[in-house]
Amino acid sequence: MSMPEAAPRFSVVVPAFNEAQGIADTVDRLTRYLNGTGLAWQIVVVDDGSSDGTAAAVEQMSAGEARLRLVRGGRRGKGAAVRRGMLEAAGAWRFFADADLSMPPANIDRFLAALRASTPAPHVLIGSREAPGSNRIGEPWRRHAVGRAFNWLVQALLLPGVQDTQCGFKLFSAEAATALFPRTTIDGFAFDVEVLTLARRAGYRVCEVGIEWHCRSDSRVSVWRGATAFVDLFRVRWNAWMGVYRGIPAPAAAAPARAVGSPESVP
């Protein structure tokens, strides 16, 4: 049995709903990748009230891997599951990943490289299917068109210059995660827009990282959920106008350039 890490440098949060058929493969792929990085790590799977054997499968795997943790949640939505996982994770850096791993785990290398190469280091790095170096594989043109329309509205209302808010792979420093996620209110698919809006308003540095992304034929993004996400954009805009997001702690002073990339600052 693996020994637990007292202070993981890198946490991966996986929100999961009815993923019994694939969650073992997801955890295995992440574990194999993380074991090759040399990082002290943990995986936190947040079960969003699944009605299948998702929680039982993770619980069984965690019996043999102390760095794997199951968090049980009610059926509240992906945003709520990610929020809880990011706040319960212990890592100095906290990454959340879609359970279908439409971004192969090796792409995490791109986040770590961007983190080490930036001075000052960003507080938030977001996987982007539009940034330089990105590659979309197998995406139907209709889904791409709806996604671009959604992003146009995101930029017009809230986040000018951010090309892709909805890719389900993002990395937060512990400082940013603990400051931002307690203030989020959106439990659905537009939670990404809200947390990035909070980050920008509070002064946290956000960087897009081009990734390789594979469209899954069994994606959970339905027409209804997509329509709800559009409505939630206006909720976020309204909250911003009404001052709901005031009072978020500003980030601490940036680390000196020589510290970026050191074990004490960056994985």
So what's the pLDDT on residue 187? 93
So what's the pLDDT on residue 216? 78
So what's the pLDDT on residue 1? 43
Distances (CA, A) of 55 to 69, 75, 76, 265: 10, 13, 16, 33
Domain assignment present for residue 29? The answer is yes
Residue type, 180: L
Q: What is the pLDDT along the chain (267 residues), one digit of tens a residue?
A: 444 455 799 999 999 999 999 999 999 999 999 999 999 999 999 999 999 999 999 999 999 999 999 999 888 899 999 999 999 999 999 999 999 999 999 999 999 999 999 888 899 999 999 999 999 999 999 889 999 999 999 999 999 999 999 998 999 999 999 999 999 999 988 999 999 999 999 999 999 999 999 997 655 555 556 688 899 999 999 999 999 999 999 998 644 333 333 444 567
How many domains does the chain contain in total? 1
Domain assignment present for residue 128? The answer is yes
Q: Look up the domain containing 135 and give its range.
A: 10-244
Name the pTM for this structure.
Answer: 0.89
CATH number of the structural domain spanning residue 227? 3.90.550.10
Instruction: Count the Cβ atoms, other than its own, within 10 Å of residue 261.
Output: 19
So what's the pLDDT on residue 257? 36
Domain assignment present for residue 81? The answer is yes
Domain assignment present for residue 249? The answer is no
Domain assignment present for residue 5? The answer is no
Question: Pairing between strand 10-16 and 41-48?
Answer: parallel
Domain assignment present for residue 252? The answer is no
Domain assignment present for residue 267? The answer is no
Question: Pairing between strand 169-173 and 124-128?
Answer: antiparallel
Domain assignment present for residue 130? The answer is yes
Q: Report the distance separating Cα 55 and Cα 46, nearest Å.
A: 9
Residue 243 token pair:
């001052």
Residue 15 token pair:
């929100």
Edge-to-edge strand order for the sheet containing 169-173? Answer: 68-73, 41-48, 10-16, 93-97, 169-173, 124-128, 206-210
